[in-house]
Amino acid sequence: MRIIYVGILWFFCLSGCYGQLLSGSLYGTSGPTYSQTLGDLVTEAGEDGTGTAYETGASEVMLSFRLDPGLLSSSAQRCTSNVYKYKVFIHIQNAPEGLVLEARTFSNAGDRYPASILYDVLPVNGPRDLYPENGGDYITIPDDETAAIKLFEFTGCRENIPIQFRISASVLAEPGASSTEIYYTVVGSLN
Q: What is the spatial distance between Cα 19 and Cα 183, in angstroms, rounded to a whole number? A: 28
Q: What is the spatial distance between Cα 132 and Cα 163, in angstroms, rounded to a whole number? A: 10
Instruction: Between 179 and 14, name the one with better pLDDT.
Output: 179
In which element (H, E) is residue 7 found?
helix 2-17
Q: What is the spatial distance between Cα 51 and Cα 13, in angstroms, rounded to a whole number? A: 59
Contact 185, 89 (CB under 8 A): yes
Model pTM score? 0.80
Q: What is the spatial distance between Cα 172 and Cα 113, in angstroms, rounded to a whole number? A: 43
**Residue 82's pLDDT band (cuts 50, 70, 90):** very high
In the Cβ-directed half-sphere of 94, how many Cα atoms lie within 13 Å? 7
Taking only the tens place, the pLDDT of each residue in 103-154 is: 999 999 999 999 999 999 988 878 999 999 999 999 999 998 889 999 999 9
In the Cβ-directed half-sphere of 141, how many Cα atoms lie within 13 Å? 29
Q: Is 118 left (phi over 0), alpha (psi -120 to 50) or beta?
A: alpha
Domain segments of the chain as ranges: 24-189
pLDDT at residue 191 in the model: 75
The answer on pLDDT for 181 being more than 60 is: yes
Determine whether 3 is exposed, middle or buried from the number of CB atoms within 10 Å of its CB (0-12, 13-18, 19+): exposed
pLDDT at residue 15 in the model: 43
pLDDT at residue 14 in the model: 42
Q: Strand 139-140 to strand 101-104: parallel, antiparallel, or no bridges (unpaired)?
A: antiparallel
Taking only the tens place, the pLDDT of each residue in 35-78 is: 655 555 555 555 555 566 778 888 889 999 999 999 999 999 99
- Please enumerate in sequence order all residues whose Cβ is within 8 A of that of 8, keeping only pairs 6 or more positions apart, or say none: none
- Please enumerate in sequence order all residues whose Cβ is within 8 A of that of 164, keeping only pairs 6 or more positions apart, or say none: 55, 56, 57, 58, 60, 61, 103, 104, 105
Contact 63, 179 (CB under 8 A): no
pLDDT at residue 3 in the model: 52
